Chains A and B, each alone.
Chain A
C-alpha cells in the first residue's frame, strides 16, 4: 500500500532559506503534502519542539509577510505539491478571516489548518474558505463525542486531521487499538483522513498507513532541522530532509 506523508515545517526556522531548502528536500524524499506553520507567540497546542522553533523565528523578527513570501517561493519551485498553512486563530482573525483566505488563495495555497477555530465557532472560516476554494482541514481527536463528530462530518469537508493522542504535538505516540478502530470507523464517512501527533518512525508509518489517507509528521522533522549546525546551507537542509523523509517511508 502506498504510504502518503504530509510533512510539516515552521516558517522561518531557522531561516526562510532553510525552510525553502527543507520543503524541497521533503518533496524530493517523497512527501505528498506540505504543511507550513506560521509562528505564533502563544502556540498552546504545540509541544516544546515546535514552540521552541516558533519562538526562535519570532525572536529574530519573523512576520507573516515573510511567511507569504516563503509560500510564494515554495510555489515557484514546487508548483504542484498540495500546500497547507497551519496557523493559530489570532494570526487569521487579526488581518481578517476573508482577507487571510483570499491571500492564501492568491498564493496558490491548497488549504488551511487552524486548530483553535473549530467548526461551528470559526468566525466564518469554513464559509470563506469554501468561497475561495481553499480546503479547510478540521482537526479532531479520537475522544470526540459522536454527536459532535457527526456535526463536523456534515460540514462538507474533504479532508480531516485526526490528532492521534490527546495532548500536544511532539511526544512519541503509542498507537492504541481504540485509536486505530476510530480511524477505521471514519473510512466509510466520505472524508480523507490525515493522522498525526507524535509520529517519529517508519514502523509507526507502516502501522498507520492502512488506516489513513496520509500520515502527518511534524515535530520529528522540526527537531532534525534544529539539530543542524548553524552554518548549514539551504542545500544541506534539502539533503537532510530528503533523507529523513525517505527513511520514514522505508
Chain B
C-alpha cells in the first residue's frame, strides 16, 4: 500500500533537518522514475535469480505440524537467500538504484550486521565502495559479521556515541549523508526512516509476499506470521495479503519480560507515538521523549521504533501484534531444528514461536505460514553459548589457544 505523501494514516512523514530534504526528494524522484522502468526491473530480476537465489522455497512442515497437532504449518525459507536473510532483497534493489542515480559511494547502518553484510555483498557485486556504520557494542558482539563485511571490501566504522548500538549507527549514517549526499546513497536497512524509505524498502521486500502467493496459490491460508523489528520482512510478506481474508500477525521481541528496558515491544506495551530519526511512529520513549533502552536476544529486533506502515496497520487492527520472550524464541529454534532440520535466525524464531503457540488452537484443515526471514548460522555464537555453554566455551578456548600457538611459531 503506497503512502500518501509519505504518510500511512498519521504515521510516517519526513521529519528531517532542511539539509536532508533535498537528498530525500531526489531519492523519491529517482525511485519513481527507475523502479517501474522495465530495464531496471529486468536487471533486478536477473540479480534475484542469479545472485540472491530466488525464488526462495516454501516448506510444508509436516513433522512440526504433526507434533503440535493443529494447523498445517508452512515455512517460507527466506533465509536461504544469499547472505542468509531477506535483507539482500532491499540492499540489492537500493544499490542498483543508487548506481542508476550516478552515486559513487554507499553508506549503511547495521545493528546485528545482517543488513551490513547484505549491503557490503551487494556493493561488492555491483562494484561500489561501501562504508557501514555499526555501534561499538555491536562490533564487539557480532565479530563474524564484521569479518564478512570486511571480506566483501566494506569499511566498517565503529560508532561510539549514545548507546553504541543500532540507533546510534543510524544517527551516524544520517550525519555522513548530510555532508556527502551529492555523491553518496544512504542505503537504509528497514521499512522506516523518513519518506521515501518506508515505501521503497517495502517495494523491494514485496517479492517475498508475491512469491508466497504464487507458491501457495492452491492453499487457503488462515494466518501469516512474521517477526517485526523495523518490520521490513513483515511488510514485504504482508503487502501481498493486506486485502485478503487472512490473519496477519506481527511478532515483537518480548525479551526478558514486560519491564521497561527489558524488551522491544512497541505495539502492545510501552510504545508511544513519537517523532524520532525522521519519521512518526510508535517508539519506546520515556515521558520526556528520550529514546529508551531495549533488549532482545536477537540483535535485529531490539530497535526502539517500528516502521510507520506497520504502525498504521497495527493501529487499524489489520495486523495483529504479539510478543514472545527470549526463552520461547530459543525453544522455537530448537523445535524447528529437531522436527524439520531448519535453523531459524533468532529474529525469525520469534515468528516461529508464535506459530507454535497458534497452531494447536486451529483445526487440522487450517493453514498458517511463518516467514523464516533469516537462517541461524550467524547466531551460532549466541545460540551455542545459550544452549551448550560448557562445550562452546571449551571450543572457543581451544581455538584461541591454537591462534596463539600459530602466532608463536610465525612471530
| Residues of A participating in the B interface, judged by any CB pair closer than 8 Å | 40-45, 47-48, 51-52, 55, 58, 63-64, 89-95, 115-118, 121, 123, 138-141, 143-145, 148, 163, 165-168
Find the A residue at minimum CB distance from B290: A41
Q: In the complex where A42-B171, A44-B277, A90-B290 touch, is A141 in contact with B19 (Cβ < 8 A)?
A: yes
> With A141-B18, A145-B22, A163-B19 in contact, is A121–B13 under 8 Å at CB?
yes
Q: Which of A43, A48, A95, A144 contacts B288 (CB 8 A)?
A: A95
Across-interface contacts of A117 in B (CB, < 8 A): 15, 275
Which interface residue of A41, A51, A52, A93 has the most chain B CB atoms within 10 A? Answer: A41
Known: A43-B171, A95-B288. A89 touches B15 (CB 8 A): yes
- Of the candidate stretches B173-181, B346-354, B363-371, the one touching chain A is B173-181
Which residue of A has the minimal Cβ distance to B170? A44
The reply to whether A52 and B21 form a contact with Cβ atoms under 8 Å apart is no
Q: Complex Cα distance A163/B174, Å?
A: 16
* Mask: chain B, 147-190; 1 = CB below 8 Å from A; 0 = not: 00000000000000110000110110011001101000000000
Cβ–Cβ < 8 Å partners of B278 in chain A:
116
Residues of A contacting B161 with CB < 8 Å?
48, 51-52, 55
List 6 tightest A-B contacts by C-beta distance, closest first.
A94-B289, A167-B179, A90-B289, A44-B171, A115-B17, A89-B275
| Contact, CB under 8 Å: A166 / B171 | no
- A90 pairs with B19, CB closer than 8 A: no
Tell me, rounded to whole Å, the shortest Cβ–Cβ distance linking B109 to chain A: 11
- Given A90-B275, A167-B179, A138 contacting B18 (CB threshold 8 A): yes
Count chain B CB atoms within 10 A of each CB in A42, A55, A143, A144 and give the residue with the most.
Answer: A42
Q: Do A143 and B15 have beta carbons less than 8 Å apart?
A: no
- The distance in angstroms between the C-alpha atoms of A109 and B8, with both chains bound, is 35
B275 touches A64 (CB 8 A): no
B276–A42 contact, CB under 8 A?
yes
Contact A167 B178 (CB under 8 A): yes
Q: From the candidates B15, B162, B179, B291, name the one contacting A55 in the complex (CB within 8 A).
A: B162
Q: How far is the CA of A248 from the CA of B142 in the complex (A)?
A: 46
User: From A162, which residue of chain B is reached at the shortest CB distance?
Assistant: B18
- Complex Cα distance, B13 from A96, in Å, reads 18
* B interface residues, how many (CB within 8 angstroms): 33
Supply 12 A–B pairs (Cβ within 8 Å), ascending by A.
A41-B291, A42-B162, A42-B277, A43-B171, A45-B178, A51-B161, A64-B288, A90-B283, A91-B289, A95-B287, A118-B15, A123-B275
Residues on A with C-beta less than 8 A from B171 are 42-44
The docked-state distance in angstroms from the alpha carbon of A98 to that of B167 is 28
Chain B residues in 8 Å Cβ range of A167: 19, 175, 178-179
Whether A121 and B22, one on each chain, are in contact in the complex, defined by CB atoms closer than 8 angstroms, is no
Chain A: minimal CB distance from B186 (Å): 12
B17 and A143 contact, CB distance less than 8 A = no
Distance to closest chain B CB from A85 (angstroms): 14
Since A63-B288, A115-B17, A140-B18 are in contact, a sample of 14 more A-B pairs with Cβ atoms closer than 8 Å, ordered by chain A residue number, is A42-B277, A43-B171, A44-B170, A45-B17, A47-B175, A51-B162, A90-B283, A91-B289, A94-B287, A116-B15, A118-B15, A143-B19, A168-B175, A168-B179
Distance from B164 Cβ to chain A, minimum over Cβ atoms (Å): 10
Contacts of A163 in B (CB 8 A): 18-19
Given the complex, which residues of A lie within 8 Å of B288, measured CB to CB? 63-64, 91, 94-95
Complex: A138 Cα to B13 Cα, angstroms: 18
Docked complex Cα distance between A90 and B275 (Å): 5
* A contact residues around B208 at 8 Å (CB): none
B→A interface (CB under 8 Å):
13-19, 21-22, 161-162, 167-168, 170-171, 174-175, 178-179, 181, 272, 274-278, 283, 285, 287-291
Chain B at the A interface: mostly helix, strand, loop or mixed? Answer: mixed
Are B175 and A44 touching (Cβ within 8 A)? yes
Expressed in whole angstroms, the Cα–Cα distance for A117 and B279 within the complex equals: 11
A115 → B minimal CB distance (Å)? 4
Distance between A29 CB and nearest chain B CB, rounded to angstroms: 29
Q: B276's contact among A47, A58, A90, A144, by CB below 8 Å, is which?
A: A90
Q: How many angstroms between the C-alpha atoms of A165 and B174 in the bound complex?
A: 15
Q: Give CA–CA (A213, B194) in the complex, Å.
A: 33
Whether A116 and B19, one on each chain, are in contact in the complex, defined by CB atoms closer than 8 angstroms, is: no
Min distance, Cβ B311 to any Cβ of chain A, angstroms? 15
Distance in angstroms between the alpha carbons of A197 and B22 in the assembled complex: 19
Residues on B with beta carbons closer than 8 Å to the beta carbon of A90: 274-276, 283, 285, 289-291
Assembly CA distance A52 to B275 (angstroms): 22
Q: How far is the CA of A95 from the CA of B178 in the complex (A)?
A: 28
Interface pair B275/A118, CB less than 8 Å apart: no
Q: Which residue of B lies closest to A94 (CB)?
A: B289
Bound Cα distance A141, B23 (Å): 13
Choose from B18, B162, B289 the contact partner of A93 (Cβ within 8 Å). Answer: B289
Q: Which partner residue on chain A sits nearest B167 by CB separation?
A: A42
Q: How far is A90 from B292 in the complex, measured between Cα atoms in Å?
A: 12
Question: Known contacts A42-B276, A116-B275; is A94 also within 8 Å of B19 by CB?
Answer: no
Asked if A95 contacts B289 (CB within 8 A), the reply is yes
Contact status A116-B16, CB under 8 Å: yes
Inter-chain contact A144/B18, CB cutoff 8 Å: yes
Smallest Cβ distance from B407 to chain A, in angstroms? 35
Residues of B within 8 A of A116 (CB): 15-17, 275, 278
Q: How far is the CB of A218 from the nearest CB of chain B, in Å?
A: 15
Hey, which chain B residues are within 8 Å of A40, CB to CB? 289-290
Contact pick for B19, options A58, A64, A123, A166, CB 8 Å: A166
**Alpha-carbon distance A176/B285, docked complex (angstroms):** 40
A143 to B22, CA, bound (A): 8
A141 to B22, CA, bound (A): 10
A118: B residues at CB distance < 8 A: 15-18, 21
Q: How far is the CA of A44 from the CA of B188 in the complex (A)?
A: 15
Contact flag A168-B178 (CB < 8 Å), given A44-B171, A55-B161, A94-B287: yes
A44 to B173, CA, bound (A): 9
How far is A63 from B286 in the complex, measured between Cα atoms in Å? 10
Q: Are A58 and B290 in contact (CB under 8 A)?
A: yes
- Indicate the member of B17, B161, B175, B274 with the most A CB atoms within 10 Å: B17
